[in-house]
């Protein structure tokens, strides 16, 4: 298999290719002065199985991926697998008010149309890992939370996993099974895109090493509010693990607030200490 990386996930493409002992595909990706994307596939792909790994955090990332997928097909690739470790636009999987566009449906259908298989990691609107079907799109949803939990477990003594909201509870439960520890959740109320509040709740985590697991840290409000509440319960330490670290306010915003902050490399940032390369490689082998 030839593994191509988009600009957002070049490191992951190399790591997956190394794990699988496959070749990295050569491509040229540029942005024209007016903002248009240019993609050229330089490797010979006729009759070959290819994969493109590209996280999507912006419209540019998405355009780059669809140009790569379509070019590979045009150039005669036998099969084209799309891997989007982080896939944006998954927040709008439902019409919350009349007239809204279902961005999750549009983006998933577009990628499905241009590829033979589609894989993502901790898709925002799904609570369970495995094969998923949404608006006639079949795709694979991998779970990286056990990787985060295992990494943090090696550095602490008395783990207890807390999900910051009910939406992350299923993943927290699975990670707790892996670590053989207790788990629980907070109840979050979203006030706006930037503001959240935690509903009153009391958990007994005194003297324990709390691991807060979440799929995404975006503005950081969820983790800030969760940390404030949990600190009041006198845990031994607060450790935060998130799969997709968007960190819109930077990782420094958490300094002094939490004892440990760990993210995966679905998005590369100073906190990405856990690699999902093995997870993706195992899926590509399937
Ligand atoms: C919410 O449903 C998600 O699981 C995350 O908690 C949320 O996306 C984090 O966003 P922020 O960092 O902006 O609070």
- Per-residue pLDDT tens digits of the chain, which is 286 residues long: 999 999 999 999 999 999 999 999 999 999 999 999 999 999 999 999 999 999 999 999 999 999 999 999 999 999 999 999 999 999 999 999 999 999 999 999 999 999 999 999 999 999 999 999 999 999 999 999 999 999 999 999 999 999 999 888 999 999 999 999 999 999 999 899 888 999 878 889 999 999 999 999 999 999 999 999 999 999 999 999 999 999 999 999 999 999 999 999 999 999 999 999 999 999 999 8
Which residue, 10, 8, 20, is CA-closest to 280? 20
Q: Is the CB of 215 under 6 A from ligand 1?
A: yes
Tell the residue number behind the tokens 């050229």, with chain if given.
Answer: 40
CA–CA gap between residue 169 and residue 203 (Å, rounded): 15
CA distance 120 to 141: 5
188 is known as an active-site residue: yes
Cβ(25) – ligand 1 distance below 6 Å:
no
Sign of CA dihedral 114, 115, 116, 121: negative
Instruction: Give which of 205, 170, 166, 220 is closest to 189, Cα–Cα.
Output: 166
Count CB-CB contacts under 10 A for residue 12: 27
Instruction: Give the pLDDT score at 143.
Output: 96
- SS3 call for 159: strand
**Phi, psi of 19, rounded to the nearest 5 degrees:** -60, -40
Which DSSP letter does residue 249 get? Answer: T
DSSP string covering 83-133, please?
A: EESSBTT-S-SS-SSTT---HHHHHHHHHHHT-SEEEEES-TT-SS-EEEE
**For residue 71, what pLDDT is reported?**
98
The Å distance, Cα 218 to ligand 1 centre, comes to 6
Tokens found for residue 31:
């942005």
Shortest-distance Cα residue to atom 2 of ligand 1: 167
Q: How far is the C-alpha of 262 from the C-alpha of 146, rounded, in Å? A: 13
CB atoms within 10 A of CB 250: 11
Q: What distance in Å separates the CA atoms of residue 226 and residue 210, rounded to the nearest whole number?
A: 11
Between CA 122 and CA 87 the distance in angstroms is: 9
Q: Collapsing DSSP states into helix, strand and coil, what is residue 56?
A: strand
Q: Is 225 in the pocket of ligand 1 (CB under 6 A)?
A: no
Say if CB 52 and CB 64 are below 8 A apart: no
């Amino acid at each position: 298999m030839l593994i191509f990386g988009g600009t957002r996930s070049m490191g992951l493409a190399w790591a997956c290719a190394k794990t699988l002992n496959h070749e990295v595909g050569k491509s040229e990706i540029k942005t024209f002065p007016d903002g248009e994307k240019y993609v050229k596939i330089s490797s010979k792909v006729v009759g070959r199985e290819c994969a493109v790994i590209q996280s999507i955090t912006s419209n540019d990332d998405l355009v780059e991926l669809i140009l790569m997928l379509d070019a590979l097909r045009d150039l005669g690739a036998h099969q084209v697998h799309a891997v989007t470790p982080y896939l944006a636009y998954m927040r709008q999987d439902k019409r919350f008010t009349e007239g809204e566009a279902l961005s999750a449906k549009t983006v998933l259908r577009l990628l499905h149309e241009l590829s033979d298989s589609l894989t993502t990691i901790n898709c925002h609107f799904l609570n369970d890992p495995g094969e998923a079907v949404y608006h006639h799109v079949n795709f694979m949803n991998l779970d990286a939370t056990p990787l985060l939990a295992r990494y943090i477990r090696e550095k602490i003594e008395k783990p207890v996993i807390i999900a910051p909201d009910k939406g992350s509870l299923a993943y927290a439960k699975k990670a707790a099974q892996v670590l053989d520890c207790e788990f629980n959740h907070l109840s979050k109320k979203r006030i706006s895109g930037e503001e959240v509040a935690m509903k009153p709740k009391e958990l007994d985590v005194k003297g324990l090493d709390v691991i807060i697991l979440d799929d995404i840290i975006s503005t950081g409000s969820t983790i800030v509010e969760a940390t404030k509440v949990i600190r009041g319960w006198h845990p031994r330490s607060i450790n935060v693990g998130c799969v997709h670290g968007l960190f819109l306010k930077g990782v420094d915003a958490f300094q002094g607030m939490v004892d440990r902050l760990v993210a995966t490399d679905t998005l590369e940032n100073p906190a990405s200490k856990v690699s999902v390369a093995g997870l993706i490689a195992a899926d590509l082998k399937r």
